[in-house]
Structure 1
Amino acid sequence: MKPEDLELLVSRTMPYGKYKGRIIADLPGNYLNWFAREGFPSGEIGRLLMLMQEIDHNGLGKLLDPLRKRGDSSKH
């Protein structure tokens, strides 16, 4: 994992599928777990989904809150 991956989780959107357009950090756990069972896609999106699944599975989603707030303040 690269430190900038955490920022990508709160800014990058899902490019396809049922949750196309949703921020990766906002994907539901059952969707992330499906990828964990069936296989993550290759490339950056797969790496980010794998990281988010690990964060979600371990109940660490709140760790992304400061990054979300920082992203919101930069829009004003």
Structure 2
Amino acid sequence: MAKEDNNDGPQHVDVDLVEVTPAAAAQKRIKIARMIRSSELYKWLADKRPEQLENYLQLQYYAKLHGYKPGWAWYQAKKRGFIR
């Protein structure tokens, strides 16, 4: 949570650090690899950047592939004019 300061200087942010074990990282990579193998759209999205995506559906799949929240795709689509 960010603590609001009344000045324009840097803000203090309290965070909880979580240790990522090699096994957890490997499981995440395996999950992503399975998603990519399961769908042609995921295969196509695997090496793309968000700027290269052309519609809201692609943004939704990209968000799911990269573990983003659903609101990320909506925000990106709204910002780029895919949603009015």
TM-score by length of 1: 0.31
Greater RCO (Cα-Cα under 8 Å, separation 6 or more): 1
TM-score by length of 2: 0.29
Give the number of the structure whose residues are more often strand, by fraction. 2
Larger Cα Rg: Structure 1 or Structure 2? 2
